[in-house]
Amino acid sequence: VDRDPPFFKLLNALKDNARSSPKGASVVYWMRMEDLRISDNRALAQASALAQKDNVPLVVLFVLSPQDYIAHDRSARRIDFTLRNLHEIKSSLAEHHVPLCTTSHTPRISIPSHVLSLLKEWGATQLFANIEHEVDELRRDIKLCELAKKEGIDCSFVHDKCIVPPGDILTKEGKAYSVYSPFLRSWIKHLSLKKEDIHLTHAPTLADNAFSIRDHSTFGRLFEVPVPEEVEGFTLQPDEKERMRFCWPAGEDAARQILDRFVHTMARGSQLGAVNPLPENAKAPRNSAKDSRLGKYKAARDKVDADTTSRLSPYLAAGVISARQCIRATTEFSSGKIDVSSETGIGRWVQEIAWRDFYTHVLALFPRVSMGRPFQEKFANIKWEAETHKDHLQAWKDGRTGVPIVDAGMRQARAMGWMHNRLRMIVAMYLVKDLMIDWRLGEKYFMEILIDGDLASNNGGWQWSASTGVDPAPYFRIFNPYIQSQKADPTGDFIRHFVPELANVRGPEIHNPSPKLADKLGYPRPRVDHNEARQRAIRRYKSPGQE
Ligand code: FAD
């Protein structure tokens, strides 16, 4: 599949499909799970411009696909976040007299026919959508292109997720990058040449539907099609629903305010737990770029006992805000230029957005990584623990491994649907190298619980931690979770917040309580001895397939 990535097949299918169909009765923009916004949205802007030119209605379609959500281990939190954003989008679109029609379709194999029948019903000859990079989704879109071609309907799928589209930067040999540093150098060079990749919003995003279509017999009724409150099989308990709404409010305004808070204000005190960032925003004094969270990012980003990163990942993963909008927000401090220096807070943050691009390029161009294959095939036969597997995996999921920083991170994920990057690295490496449990099980659990689950970044992060991926942590460099804990949570506040059994422990013991203290507090003892586990991992990675 890597030799012939579906991504390139889609690009070819699109070339094949690109004709100029005669004007239809409407233009359709098919919104997907990764582009839940109106502003700075390429496919929507193009669809809107064409509808305006042709003076025909613009219709926005969203197809819920429960089978895909099961296949991709989507969390109920992510599905709920999708629906909440769709509600916001529906009312914003209606203000422009544009209907959002949400349908639900099973089986997923026939989604192309489902979409095609709607296009025919609405008399559309042009469909626009942003490209999704997962294999199943690419195959679905290739199928739709083929079917649409037979009906004389044009499909335009455009790049929108990344700052630099996959395939646009390649090595000198014309291959995809598998190491981040040269990728970053190419990424920077590309942006200095193609500034329009950042400055997209100068294009009109959404024009009003030229005339009122509410009375129209076909389109008028689409305004009445509701966005469902939930998708069967992905129901959240009421208290959890409430918590997710509090932590992660829906909508583009919320995303912009969170970005603004990160760029312009400083963390005050420790802001842990289920914190809704918005109320603070109104009160917080605005700092200079140097003193804001963004300005301090280089020094503070790896600390988990304070609220120092942007917390934008749920919004970026769902496309409620675009990566371009994030980068543009940083350029106001550097005379319009993009700062990518490793020495500044701004530069380091921009580099994180580049990591997001990198992993999406990897997914598009090495699709086997998303099909359960390690990027480094030499590690395909590592011997994973079978006997203790179920026990240890459950303890890890429950935040009861007996290693406080690991447990605090896992409990944060359960409480908030989000985890700090440093913690993701610590808990992932602990599962794979200390407990010797297959990284794919951790990858799956993250998708099931996180609100920001993104196949490319999640797979990239897991394969990095498991030393099996592109540009991974070398297999012999294994995190000592206790040392990591002292560095990431020097105050111990993070552990105390999320592990109430240890709430009253002061001093260094918070990172590694003695067996006596752990027993007294009803906190579990560690499942494995770190040094022994480390030796076992190195042995097994050195000779895959051996004990
Ligand atoms: P910030 O530090 O403010 O960074 C800004 C943005 O840059 C993030 O929102 C994200 O979009 C991007 N970014 C930052 N770090 C990375 C990274 N290492 N890789 C890719 N993109 C990055 N991120 C997800 O969005 N979804 C996932 O499912 C996901 N799973 C992960 C699993 C593992 C095992 C690891 C190690 C990392 C994973 N990440 C994932 C990457 C990273 O942990 C999160 O993006 C980050 O913690 C989100 O917090 P933030 O928005 O405050 O990030």
Residue 417 burial by CB count (10 A; 0-12/13-18/19+): exposed, middle or buried?
buried
Residues labelled as active-site residues: 352, 355, 384, 421, 439, 462
Give the angle subtended at the CA of 227 by the CAs of 222 and 233, to the nearest 5°: 135
Residue with tokens 């079978």: 386
Closest CA to 514 of 504, 525, 506, 502: 525
Atom of ligand 1 nearest to the CA of 450: 28
Given ligand 1 and candidates 162, 313, 468, which is best to mutate, with the most ligand atoms within 8 Å of its CB? Answer: 313
Regarding the beta carbon of 454 and ligand 1, being less than 6 Å apart is answered yes
| CB 348 within 8 Å of CB 357 | no
Is the pLDDT at 132 greater than 80? The verdict is yes
Q: Is 454 annotated as a binding residue?
A: yes
Q: Is ligand 1 within 6 A of the CB of residue 359?
A: yes
> Is 80 exceeded by the pLDDT of residue 314?
yes
User: What is the CA angle 87-88-93, rounded to 5?
Assistant: 100
Say if ligand 1 is within 6 A of residue 465 CB.
yes
Percent of the chain scoring above 90 in pLDDT? 78
pTM: 0.96
**Confidence class for position 147, pLDDT limits 50, 70, 90:** very high
SS3 155: strand
CA distance 194 to 145: 29
The tokens for 298 are: 């280089």
Burial of 312 (0-12, 13-18, 19+ CB in 10 A): buried
Amino acid at 387: E
What is the mean pLDDT of the segment spanning 360-365? 96
- Determine which of 5-14, 188-197, 428-437 has the lowest per-residue pLDDT on average: 188-197
Q: Torsions phi, psi of 101, nearest 5?
A: -110, 115
DSSP 368: G
Confirm whether residue 313 is marked as ligand binding.
Answer: yes
Distance CA 401, CA 393 (A): 9
pLDDT of amino acid 412? 94
Given a contact cutoff of 8 angstroms between Cβ atoms, the answer to whether 38 and 252 are in contact is yes
**What percent of the chain has pLDDT above 70?**
93
> In whole angstroms, what is the distance from residue 402 CA to residue 411 CA?
13
Q: Whose CA is nearest to atom 44 of ligand 1?
A: 421
Whether omega before 107 lies within 30 degrees of 0, making that bond cis, reads yes
Quick one: tokens of 167? 């395939």
Q: Is the pLDDT of residue 281 over 60?
A: no
- Calpha distance 44→171 (Å, rounded): 32
Residue 167 has pLDDT above 90, yes or no: yes
Q: What is the pLDDT of residue 201?
A: 54
Best residue among 350, 410, 421 to mutate for probing ligand 1's pocket (most ligand atoms within 8 Å of CB) is 421
pLDDT at 402: 98
Tell me: is residue 312 an annotated ligand-binding position.
yes
Average pLDDT of the segment spanning 219-225: 93
Average pLDDT, the chain: 91
Ligand 1 and 310: CB distance under 6 A? yes
- pLDDT confidence band for 274 (50 / 70 / 90): very low
Q: What is the pLDDT of residues 455-495, one digit of tens each?
A: 999 999 999 999 999 998 899 999 999 999 999 999 999 99
pLDDT given for residue 310 in this prediction = 93
| Alpha carbon distances (Å) from 430 to 7, 380, 425, 468, 540 | 34, 19, 8, 15, 15
Tell me which of 27-36, 326-335, 447-456 is least confident. Answer: 326-335
ipTM over 0.90: yes
Residue 205: phi, psi to the nearest 5?
Answer: -95, -50
Token pair 């500044």: residue: 344
Tokens linked to 63 = 């197809």
Question: Could you tell me the pLDDT band of residue 276, with boundaries at 50, 70 and 90?
Answer: low
**Mean pLDDT of all residues in 161-178:** 93
pLDDT tens column, 171-217: 999 899 999 999 999 999 998 877 767 765 545 677 777 666 777 88
Residue type, 253: D
* Atom of ligand 1 lying closest to residue 323 CA: 11
Given this model, what pLDDT does residue 208 score? 74
Is it the case that residue 144 has pLDDT exceeding 60? Answer: yes
Is residue 311 part of an annotated ligand binding site? yes
- CB of 355 shorter than 6 A to ligand 1: yes
pLDDT digits (tens, 9 = 90+) for 57-86: 999 999 999 999 999 999 999 999 999 999
Q: Beta strand 124-130 with 154-158: parallel, antiparallel or unpaired?
A: parallel
Among the atoms of ligand 1, which is closest to the Cα of residue 313?
Answer: 9
Ligand 1 pocket member 458 (CB < 6 A): yes
User: Residue 265 in 3-state DSSP?
Assistant: coil
> Is 376 in contact with 508 (CB distance < 8 Å)?
no
352 among annotated binding-site residues: yes
3-class state of residue 375 by DSSP: coil
**Pocket probe mutation, ligand 1, options 263, 457, 458, max atoms within 8 Å of Cβ:** 457
